[in-house]
Protein backbone atom coordinates (compact mmCIF):
# COMPACT_ATOMS: atom_id res chain seq x y z
CA UNK A 1 0.00 0.00 0.00
CA UNK A 2 1.50 3.26 -1.07
CA UNK A 3 0.67 6.31 0.96
CA UNK A 4 -1.18 8.84 -1.14
CA UNK A 5 1.45 11.57 -1.18
CA UNK A 6 -0.56 14.01 -3.27
CA UNK A 7 -3.27 13.88 -0.66
CA UNK A 8 -0.65 14.58 2.00
CA UNK A 9 0.37 17.77 0.32
CA UNK A 10 -3.14 19.13 0.07
CA UNK A 11 -3.96 18.10 3.61
CA UNK A 12 -0.75 17.79 5.61
CA UNK A 13 -2.44 17.11 8.95
CA UNK A 14 -4.18 14.04 7.62
CA UNK A 15 -2.23 10.83 7.73
CA UNK A 16 -2.56 8.12 5.10
CA UNK A 17 -4.79 5.24 6.04
CA UNK A 18 -1.94 2.77 5.65
CA UNK A 19 0.08 4.39 8.39
CA UNK A 20 -2.17 3.66 11.32
CA UNK A 21 0.25 3.03 14.16
CA UNK A 22 -2.23 2.51 16.94
CA UNK A 23 -5.54 0.69 16.77
CA UNK A 24 -8.20 2.64 14.90
CA UNK A 25 -11.87 1.79 14.93
CA UNK A 26 -13.87 2.37 11.77
CA UNK A 27 -17.19 1.43 10.27
CA UNK A 28 -16.90 -0.38 6.98
CA UNK A 29 -18.65 -2.70 4.58
CA UNK A 30 -17.45 -6.12 3.51
CA UNK A 31 -16.68 -6.09 -0.20
CA UNK A 32 -15.36 -9.63 -0.48
CA UNK A 33 -13.38 -12.27 1.34
CA UNK A 34 -10.70 -14.50 -0.12
CA UNK A 35 -12.62 -17.73 0.36
CA UNK A 36 -9.96 -19.84 -1.34
CA UNK A 37 -7.72 -19.64 1.69
CA UNK A 38 -9.53 -19.34 4.99
CA UNK A 39 -7.30 -21.17 7.43
CA UNK A 40 -3.81 -22.16 8.39
CA UNK A 41 -2.59 -25.11 10.39
CA UNK A 42 -1.00 -24.80 13.79
CA UNK A 43 0.33 -27.16 16.42
CA UNK A 44 -2.54 -27.99 18.75
CA UNK A 45 -0.23 -27.65 21.75
CA UNK A 46 1.78 -24.49 21.19
CA UNK A 47 -0.30 -22.94 18.36
CA UNK A 48 2.78 -22.20 16.29
CA UNK A 49 2.30 -22.42 12.54
CA UNK A 50 3.03 -25.86 11.13
CA UNK A 51 4.53 -26.58 7.80
CA UNK A 52 2.11 -28.13 5.39
CA UNK A 53 2.33 -31.92 5.78
CA UNK A 54 1.77 -32.44 2.06
CA UNK A 55 4.69 -33.44 -0.17
CA UNK A 56 7.19 -30.94 -1.56
CA UNK A 57 7.55 -29.07 1.69
CA UNK A 58 10.52 -28.79 4.00
CA UNK A 59 9.73 -32.19 5.44
CA UNK A 60 8.92 -34.37 2.44
CA UNK A 61 9.18 -37.63 4.40
CA UNK A 62 6.78 -36.58 7.10
CA UNK A 63 3.18 -37.59 6.77
CA UNK A 64 2.27 -36.07 10.12
CA UNK A 65 2.19 -32.39 10.89
CA UNK A 66 5.57 -31.52 12.29
CA UNK A 67 6.05 -29.07 15.12
CA UNK A 68 9.68 -28.18 15.54
CA UNK A 69 8.86 -26.44 18.83
CA UNK A 70 7.24 -29.42 20.50
CA UNK A 71 9.47 -32.09 18.91
CA UNK A 72 6.55 -33.98 17.50
CA UNK A 73 7.76 -35.85 14.48
CA UNK A 74 8.01 -39.31 12.99
CA UNK A 75 11.22 -40.28 14.75
CA UNK A 76 9.76 -41.71 17.90
CA UNK A 77 8.27 -38.57 19.36
CA UNK A 78 4.60 -39.13 18.71
CA UNK A 79 2.00 -36.70 19.80
CA UNK A 80 -0.13 -38.42 22.45
CA UNK A 81 -3.21 -36.78 20.94
CA UNK A 82 -4.66 -38.32 17.76
CA UNK A 83 -3.76 -35.22 15.81
CA UNK A 84 -1.09 -32.73 16.64
CA UNK A 85 -2.61 -30.01 14.56
CA UNK A 86 -5.65 -27.82 14.29
CA UNK A 87 -6.83 -25.10 11.99
CA UNK A 88 -7.17 -21.44 12.78
CA UNK A 89 -8.88 -18.85 10.66
CA UNK A 90 -6.75 -16.43 8.68
CA UNK A 91 -8.99 -14.54 6.29
CA UNK A 92 -8.13 -11.81 3.83
CA UNK A 93 -11.07 -9.49 3.63
CA UNK A 94 -11.70 -6.44 1.44
CA UNK A 95 -13.50 -3.68 3.25
CA UNK A 96 -14.83 -0.40 1.97
CA UNK A 97 -14.58 2.63 4.20
CA UNK A 98 -16.04 5.98 3.24
CA UNK A 99 -12.74 6.71 1.47
CA UNK A 100 -11.33 3.59 -0.08
CA UNK A 101 -11.29 -0.17 -0.33
CA UNK A 102 -8.52 -1.92 1.54
CA UNK A 103 -7.57 -5.53 2.09
CA UNK A 104 -7.08 -6.40 5.74
CA UNK A 105 -6.30 -9.65 7.48
CA UNK A 106 -8.45 -11.23 10.12
CA UNK A 107 -7.15 -13.90 12.42
CA UNK A 108 -8.96 -16.52 14.42
CA UNK A 109 -10.47 -14.57 17.28
CA UNK A 110 -12.07 -11.94 15.06
CA UNK A 111 -13.05 -14.39 12.32
CA UNK A 112 -14.93 -16.57 14.78
CA UNK A 113 -17.27 -13.66 15.47
CA UNK A 114 -18.30 -13.64 11.81
CA UNK A 115 -18.20 -17.39 11.20
CA UNK A 116 -19.77 -18.47 14.49
CA UNK A 117 -17.61 -21.56 14.78
CA UNK A 118 -14.01 -22.69 14.92
CA UNK A 119 -11.96 -23.08 11.76
CA UNK A 120 -11.93 -26.86 12.27
CA UNK A 121 -15.73 -26.92 12.52
CA UNK A 122 -16.02 -24.87 9.36
CA UNK A 123 -13.51 -27.12 7.60
CA UNK A 124 -15.57 -30.19 8.56
CA UNK A 125 -18.74 -28.50 7.35
CA UNK A 126 -17.04 -27.63 4.05
CA UNK A 127 -16.01 -31.27 3.56
CA UNK A 128 -19.64 -32.24 3.09
CA UNK A 129 -20.65 -28.93 1.50
CA UNK A 130 -17.93 -28.20 -1.06
CA UNK A 131 -19.17 -24.72 -1.90
CA UNK A 132 -19.45 -23.62 1.72
CA UNK A 133 -16.43 -21.32 1.57
CA UNK A 134 -17.72 -19.47 -1.48
CA UNK A 135 -21.16 -19.30 0.09
CA UNK A 136 -19.59 -17.88 3.24
CA UNK A 137 -18.06 -15.14 1.14
CA UNK A 138 -21.41 -14.30 -0.39
CA UNK A 139 -23.07 -14.37 3.03
CA UNK A 140 -20.63 -11.78 4.32
CA UNK A 141 -20.66 -9.46 1.31
CA UNK A 142 -22.35 -6.20 2.13
CA UNK A 143 -22.28 -6.69 5.90
CA UNK A 144 -21.62 -3.51 7.82
CA UNK A 145 -18.95 -3.98 10.45
CA UNK A 146 -17.28 -1.94 13.11
CA UNK A 147 -13.67 -3.06 13.03
CA UNK A 148 -10.60 -2.11 15.00
CA UNK A 149 -7.51 -2.18 12.81
CA UNK A 150 -3.91 -2.19 13.90
CA UNK A 151 -0.57 -2.20 12.18
CA UNK A 152 0.82 -5.75 12.03
CA UNK A 153 3.44 -6.50 14.68
CA UNK A 154 5.44 -8.43 12.14
CA UNK A 155 7.15 -5.82 9.99
CA UNK A 156 6.97 -8.11 6.96
CA UNK A 157 3.21 -8.41 7.07
CA UNK A 158 1.50 -6.52 4.31
CA UNK A 159 -1.98 -6.04 5.66
CA UNK A 160 -3.55 -4.12 8.47
CA UNK A 161 -4.86 -6.55 11.00
CA UNK A 162 -8.40 -6.73 12.32
CA UNK A 163 -8.06 -6.75 16.09
CA UNK A 164 -11.77 -6.89 16.81
CA UNK A 165 -14.96 -6.91 14.82
CA UNK A 166 -18.56 -6.09 15.62
CA UNK A 167 -21.36 -6.73 13.10
CA UNK A 168 -23.59 -3.64 12.97
CA UNK A 169 -26.68 -5.02 11.28
CA UNK A 170 -29.58 -5.88 13.54
CA UNK A 171 -30.29 -9.53 12.99
CA UNK A 172 -26.78 -10.42 11.87
CA UNK A 173 -26.21 -14.09 12.21
CA UNK A 174 -22.91 -15.92 11.95
CA UNK A 175 -21.99 -17.46 8.62
CA UNK A 176 -22.26 -21.04 9.82
CA UNK A 177 -25.88 -20.51 10.85
CA UNK A 178 -26.74 -18.87 7.53
CA UNK A 179 -25.16 -21.78 5.68
CA UNK A 180 -26.88 -24.42 7.78
CA UNK A 181 -30.22 -22.80 7.03
CA UNK A 182 -29.32 -22.52 3.37
CA UNK A 183 -28.36 -26.14 2.98
CA UNK A 184 -31.23 -27.36 5.12
CA UNK A 185 -33.64 -25.52 2.81
CA UNK A 186 -31.99 -27.17 -0.17
CA UNK A 187 -32.28 -30.58 1.52
CA UNK A 188 -28.54 -31.25 1.56
ZN1 LIG B 1 3.99 -27.28 19.03
Taking only the tens place, the pLDDT of each residue in 133-179 is 999 999 999 999 999 999 887 777 789 999 999 999 999 999 999 99
- Cβ-count burial of 188 within 10 angstroms (0-12 exposed, 13-18 middle, 19+ buried)? exposed
Q: Which long-range contacts (CB under 8 A, 24 or more apart) does 67-71 make?
A: 67/43, 69/43, 70/43, 70/45, 70/46
- Give residue-wise pLDDT tens across range 5-61: 444 444 445 555 555 567 799 999 999 999 999 999 988 888 888 765 544 344 444
Integer Cα distance of 136 and 115 in angstroms:
8
**Ligand 1 (ion): which residues have CB within 5 A?**
43, 45-46, 67, 69-70
Q: Assess if residue 7 is contained within a domain.
A: no
Ligand 1 centroid – CA 83 distance (Å): 12
CATH number at residue 115: 2.40.50.140
Helix (H) or strand (E) holding 184: helix 175-185
104 in a domain, yes or no? yes
User: Residue 131 sits in which domain range?
Assistant: 24-185
Give the DSSP H/E element, type plus range, for residue 8: helix 5-10
For the chain, how many structural domains are there in total?
1
Find all residues with CB under 8 Å of 115, minimum gap 6, and list them.
89, 122, 136, 174, 175, 176
* pLDDT given at position 77: 54
Does residue 174 fall inside a structural domain? yes
Ligand 1 centroid–CA 113 distance in Å is: 25
Assess if residue 89 is contained within a domain: yes
Instruction: Note the pLDDT of residue 99.
Output: 87
Amino acid sequence: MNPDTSNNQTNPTKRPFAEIDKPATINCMVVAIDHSNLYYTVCSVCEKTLSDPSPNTHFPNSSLPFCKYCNFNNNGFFNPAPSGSKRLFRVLISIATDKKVVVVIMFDRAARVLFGCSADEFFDFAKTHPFAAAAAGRALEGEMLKVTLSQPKNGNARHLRVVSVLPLRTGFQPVIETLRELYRAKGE
